[in-house]
């Protein structure tokens, strides 16, 4: 897949599921090309059993929209697709329409680095239903994975307690584009560096690395290998000491460190990649201190995640930084965010107001929220978040002073909160209007700073790994009433069509 200076491929128009294109043709054939809709991206449960997620990927959304064009090569490919029962899959006139197509959507999204929570809209897309469908798959792919990675990284960084975390999972990533995505998202969420040199070039992310076991095995002895590396990289010398025996490796590192001192240089550190990391790091620290080499840093790796790091530090392991690879780059314990993209309102051509819609489902858990949704984050006097309110923008207009002051928890209708004494801020920010970016793309440093500030304000009860406090996300009372009414009306309609209803 061709890659640009973002994580997006160059041919995004076909970065979609086939049914998006077949539905688009159906809308075109039925004269519904100008009907408008509102869709939202959300997820149903916070990933990794966490109390939050870290929003990521939205900065690339404007570029995704602007670059969604069908080339001549795209049209030629689609024209060659055959239907299962014979003949061309797509109408030739429809494909000609795609040739001049450009996106006309408006997009509002939670900014990168902000915290997000289950059930609330992460991204709101408004525009022709035709356009919204063509954007669905690529948007979910872009936002879903980066948000998942950023959340995992934030947890790892939290566990490290201000010690640097290096992301170095490229070789275990799901393809080159996956490796780039991870490097980008993990840096937003607090990783200090990446091993991915291409990511470093593209986004200015600090790069870091040591040497492999193969370096040591390329020499007749470990000491010879260490000496050669110190001569080659005197200003970036971190020695991997577990190729044969960690204790022997530490002793060889001491020899090299003292030789470097004689040359006016310093050994930066050692890395331990196997064994009992708590016990071995303590041994290394004690030996370095005994030899007057207290400046040497200890880096550990070996399938680390937030739980392993937390355990090491709880044991008092004297570790200075962590290298985290496989379990970060693969989001080992939850490989998907579970993001969904659902229509929440529609506007037929000629109508003057939006009609809220929702997916009912036989599983109440999968019922969606209707309306043109916005999100307000309420904060206490210290600026710490206390709850988020999802509201329908159409409902709040001209509804009186009390409107918007009560929220009903999405997961528990009995939990009703008066928010009138809290201040709030709007979470969805405009980023695309009529298919065009409306502001310059911000840097990763801006998103990174936003993430650090947001996490610092979040109560530790929501940040802990085991049994975090549940952050309240609720519906504005009017929206809760609307949702309940739509459910009752639809269930009554369905019941009236069932065989036993007709036999009465």
C-beta separation of 212 from 225 below 8 A: no
Quick check: is 248 in a domain?
A: no
Q: What's the rounded Cα separation, in Å, for the pair 253 and 136?
A: 54
Pairing of strands 165-167, 321-324: parallel
Domain housing 171: 1-68+103-208+301-504
Quick check: is 21 in a domain?
A: yes
Quick check: is 345 in a domain?
A: yes
Q: CA neighbours within 13 Å on the CB side: how many for 153?
A: 36
State the pLDDT at residue 4. Answer: 56
Q: Residues 109, 112, 115, 116: is their CA dihedral positive or negative?
A: positive
Greatest alpha-carbon pair distance for the chain in Å reads 99
CB atoms within 10 A of CB 496: 9
* Integer angstrom CA distances of residue 419 from 296, 469, 472, 484: 52, 19, 12, 21
The CATH number assigned to the domain holding 61 equals: 3.20.140.10
Name the residue among 393, 390, 451, 471 with its Cα closest to residue 58. 451
| Number of structural domains the chain divides into | 1
Q: What's the rounded Cα separation, in Å, for the pair 226 and 236?
A: 13
CB atoms within 10 A of CB 433: 16
State the pLDDT at residue 318. Answer: 98
Q: CA neighbours within 13 Å on the CB side: how many for 434?
A: 0
Taking only Cα atoms into account, the Rg of the chain, rounded to an integer number of angstroms, comes to 27
Structure tokens at 378: 């309420």
Quick check: is 270 in a domain?
A: no
Tell me the whole-structure pTM to 2 decimals. 0.95
How high is the mean pLDDT of the chain?
A: 94
Residue 13 has pLDDT above 60, yes or no: yes
pLDDT for 264-283, tens place per residue? 999 999 999 999 999 999 99
Quick check: is 384 in a domain?
A: yes
Structure tokens at 284: 């290394």
Structure tokens at 440: 């310059």
CB atoms within 10 A of CB 81: 11
Quick check: is 250 in a domain?
A: no
pLDDT for 430-455, tens place per residue? 999 999 999 899 999 999 999 999 99
Residue 186 has pLDDT above 60, yes or no: yes
Name the residue among 293, 297, 300, 294 with its Cα closest to residue 279. 300
What's the start-to-end Cα distance of the chain, in Å? 61
State the pLDDT at residue 19. Answer: 97
Q: Classify residue 192 by its DSSP letter.
A: -
State the pLDDT at residue 494. Answer: 75
Quick check: is 277 in a domain?
A: no
> What mean pLDDT is predicted for residues 190-203?
97
Quick check: is 271 in a domain?
A: no
């Amino acid at each position: 897949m061709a890659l640009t200076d973002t994580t997006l491929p160059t041919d995004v128009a076909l970065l979609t599921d086939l049914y998006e294109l077949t539905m688009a043709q159906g809308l075109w054939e039925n004269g519904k090309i100008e009907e408008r809709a509102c869709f939202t991206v959300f997820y149903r449960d916070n990933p990794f059993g966490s109390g939050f997620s870290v929003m990521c990927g939205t900065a690339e959304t404007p570029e995704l929209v602007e670059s969604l064009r069908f080339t001549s090569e795209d049209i030629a490919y689609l024209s060659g697709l055959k239907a299962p029962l014979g003949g061309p899959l797509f109408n030739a006139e429809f494909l000609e329409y795609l040739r001049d197509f450009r996106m006309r959507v408006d997009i509002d999204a939670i900014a990168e680095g902000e915290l997000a929570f289950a059930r609330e809209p992460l991204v709101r897309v408004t525009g022709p239903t035709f356009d919204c469908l063509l954007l669905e798959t690529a948007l979910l792919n872009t936002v879903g994975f980066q948000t998942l990675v950023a959340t995992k990284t934030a947890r790892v960084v939290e566990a490290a307690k201000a010690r640097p975390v290096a992301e170095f999972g490229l070789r275990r990533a799901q393809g080159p584009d996956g490796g780039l995505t991870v490097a980008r998202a993990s840096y937003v969420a607090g990783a200090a560096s990446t091993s991915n040199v291409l990511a470093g070039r593209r986004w200015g992310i600090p790069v870091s690395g040591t040497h492999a076991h193969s370096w040591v095995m390329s020499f007749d002895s470990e000491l010879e290998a260490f000496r050669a590396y110190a001569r080659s990289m005197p200003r970036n010398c971190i020695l991997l000491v577990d190729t044969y025996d960690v204790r022997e490796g530490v002793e060889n590192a001491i020899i090299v460190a003292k030789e470097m001192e004689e040359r006016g240089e310093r050994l930066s550190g050692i890395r331990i990649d196997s064994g009992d990391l708590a016990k071995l790091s303590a041994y290394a620290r004690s030996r370095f201190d005994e030899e007057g080499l207290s400046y040497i840093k200890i880096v550990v790796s070996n399938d680390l995640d937030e739980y392993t790091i937390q355990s090491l530090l709880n044991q008092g392991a004297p570790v200075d930084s962590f290298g985290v690879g496989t379990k970060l780059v693969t989001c080992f314990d939850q490989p998907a965010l579970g993001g969904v993209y659902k229509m929440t309102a529609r506007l037929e051509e000629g109508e003057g107001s939006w009609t809220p819609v929702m997916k009912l489902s036989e599983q109440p858990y999968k019922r969606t929220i209707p309306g043109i949704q916005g999100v307000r984050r309420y904060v206490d006097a210290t600026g710490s978040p206390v709850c988020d309110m999802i509201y329908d923008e159409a409902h709040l207009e001209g509804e009186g002073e009390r409107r918007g002051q009560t929220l009903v928890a999405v997961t528990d209708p009995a939990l009703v909160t008066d928010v009138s004494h809290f201040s709030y801020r709007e979470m969805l920010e405009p980023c695309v209007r009529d298919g065009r970016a409306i502001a310059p793309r911000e840097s990763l440093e801006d998103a990174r700073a936003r993430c650090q500030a947001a996490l610092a304000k979040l109560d530790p009860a929501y940040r802990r790994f085991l049994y975090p406090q549940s952050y309240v996300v609720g519906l504005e009372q009017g929206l809760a009433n609307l949702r309940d009414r739509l459910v009752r009306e639809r269930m009554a309609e369905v019941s009236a069509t069932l065989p036993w209803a007709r036999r009465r």
